[in-house]
């Protein structure tokens, strides 16, 4: 019972608190995600829109537990590039 009791107390610890820098980075990622989904809504073709929405959701979900700051910065840059390309494509298509 003694070791089992200590395991129980460990599981009740609060989750780690984000540093201010991590908090700002998280806000940046969430904002980027919302902007990506808003832009995808402008895609005229239903199938393309669904594909892009599913892709974006899966990419963000797959990387949600990333902790390496350099990796996160790289992923943010890649997502911003994808968003920029999508916006250019929509502008050229007159959407």
Q: Span 50-72, mean pLDDT?
A: 93
Three-state secondary structure call for residue 94: coil
Q: What angle do CA 12, 14, 19 make, to 5 degrees?
A: 160
Q: Where are the domains of the chain?
A: 18-92
Neighbours of 7 (CB within 10 A): 8
Q: In this predicted structure, which of 7-21, 37-51, 74-88 has the lowest mean pLDDT?
A: 7-21
- What is the structure's pLDDT at 80? 96
* pLDDT tens-place string over residues 62-80: 998 898 889 999 999 999 9
pTM (two decimals): 0.74
* 56 token code pair: 């974006």
DSSP E strand stretches across the chain: none
């Amino acid at each position: 019972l003694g070791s089992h009791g200590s395991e129980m107390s460990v599981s009740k610890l609060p989750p780690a608190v984000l540093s201010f820098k991590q908090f700002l980075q998280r806000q940046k990622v969430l904002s980027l995600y919302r902007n990506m989904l808003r832009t995808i809504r402008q895609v005229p073709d239903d199938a393309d829109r669904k594909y892009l929405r599913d892709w974006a959701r899966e990419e963000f979900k797959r990387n949600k537990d990333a902790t390496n700051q350099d990796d996160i910065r790289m992923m943010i840059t890649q997502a911003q590039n994808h968003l920029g390309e999508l916006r250019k494509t929509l502008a050229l298509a007159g959407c």
